[in-house]
Every structure is written in structure tokens, then in C-alpha cells.
């Protein structure tokens, strides 16, 4: 995990590009507030950029992680979460407040309790916290279902449910939601008449 990066020491916010020092993950302040309840209890919580003017929160993640992270995590969270990738996928700019700007109004850092100075968040941990936060704020229909076979997002209209096992070692069959094509790869339980 990249610990060496720190924002400018003082002065005005700077507009910095993704992909050099970090990539970024953006969501609404409402979703972020719920996510903080989960993230603050983790061993290494990271600071978050809060923009009170447009009601958003931005976490910085290691550079290149937006392109290489498990897209099933981020794809499932869209459109409530936006991943700002690094080149060549795309280039985005993020307003970064000075390190000492830790209160609003406006652009500032939200520093978690027991903070160790980390500005770069762990992508997997962040994605895991954002999923229940989206459900809490927007309801279960706001979050795409997840295919149990390929782990990517599956639109509710395209999802199928089957009683089956993902592997022959699974001790019990379970109700599995999947893409229609992925369901063909499950070990489906035969129904007795």
C-alpha cells in the first residue's frame, strides 16, 4: 500500500490528475457517511476528500488500481460510485485540499478516528464498505445483483436463480443468482418428481 503520498502542506486546493500518485473513487456524501461507520472500525482507515459544495466524497486508491481492481466490485456499485481511472483508460482531475484543511465548509479532508496518516485507501476494503452503504441510503434495488459464478454485476432483469453448487466440493446446494450463461457452469441440482 502506498503510504508515502501526502497532499500539499498548505494553501489553496490543487487540481491534480489521477494515475500518477493515485486513482480515485467518488460517491455522494450520504453514501460516504454510511461507509465511514464501517471503514472507521478497520485497522488502517484512510482520509477522505469531502466537497460540501457538491455533496461528494472521494477516496484515493493506489495508482493503476482502478484499471486492475476487480471490476465486478466497482461495476456492481455503479452508478452510485464512480471510479476515476488512470491513463490510458482515461484521465480525470481531482480537487485536493491542503493537508491541514480538515474541516469545512468547502473542500477538506475527513480524517477518521485513530488515523495513522494514510491518504491512500485499500480498494477492496473500500468497495466492501460502499456496497452496504449504498443499500442503506438508496435501498436494495439501487445495487446491482452479483453473479455468484463470475462475480460481475448482473442486471435484475437478466438474472436467473438456480439451486446448485459452484463446485463439486460445496457441501450443500444453495440458491444462486447468476447470468444466464454463467448458470450453465454451475452444478445444478436435479429435481425429483
**Tens-digit pLDDT string for the chain (193 aa):** 445 789 988 888 999 998 889 999 999 999 999 999 999 877 778 999 999 999 999 999 998 776 665 556 777 788 899 888 766 666 789 999 999 999 988 999 999 988 888 999 988 889 889 989 999 999 988 887 878 788 777 877 888 887 877 777 888 888 888 888 887 777 655 443 3
Task: Judge contact between 101 and 7, C-beta under 8 A.
Answer: no
**DSSP-based three-state secondary structure for 142:** helix
Strand-pairing partners, residue 187, are 165
What pTM value is reported for the model?
0.77
Amino acid at each position: 500500500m502506498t503510504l508515502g503520498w501526502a497532499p500539499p502542506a498548505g494553501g489553496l486546493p490543487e487540481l491534480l490528475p489521477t494515475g500518477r500518485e493515485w486513482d480515485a473513487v467518488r460517491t455522494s456524501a450520504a453514501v460516504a457517511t454510511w461507509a465511514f461507520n464501517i471503514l472507521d472500525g478497520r485497522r488502517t482507515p484512510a482520509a477522505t476528500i469531502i466537497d460540501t459544495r457538491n455533496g461528494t466524497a472521494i477516496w484515493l486508491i493506489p495508482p493503476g488500481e482502478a484499471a486492475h481492481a476487480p471490476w465486478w466490485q466497482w461495476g456492481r456499485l455503479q452508478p452510485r460510485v464512480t471510479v476515476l481511472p488512470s491513463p490510458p483508460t482515461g484521465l480525470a482531475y481531482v480537487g485536493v485540499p491542503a493537508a491541514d484543511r480538515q474541516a469545512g465548509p468547502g473542500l477538506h479532508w475527513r480524517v477518521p478516528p485513530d488515523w495513522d496518516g494514510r491518504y491512500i485507501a485499500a480498494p477492496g476494503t473500500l468497495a466492501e464498505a460502499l456496497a452496504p452503504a449504498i443499500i442503506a441510503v438508496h435501498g436494495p434495488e439501487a445495487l446491482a445483483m452479483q453473479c455468484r459464478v463470475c462475480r460481475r454485476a448482473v442486471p435484475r432483469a437478466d438474472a436467473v436463480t438456480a439451486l446448485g453448487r459452484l463446485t463439486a466440493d460445496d457441501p450443500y446446494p444453495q440458491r444462486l443468482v447468476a447470468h444466464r450463461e454463467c448458470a450453465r457452469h454451475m452444478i445444478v441440482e436435479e429435481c425429483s418428481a
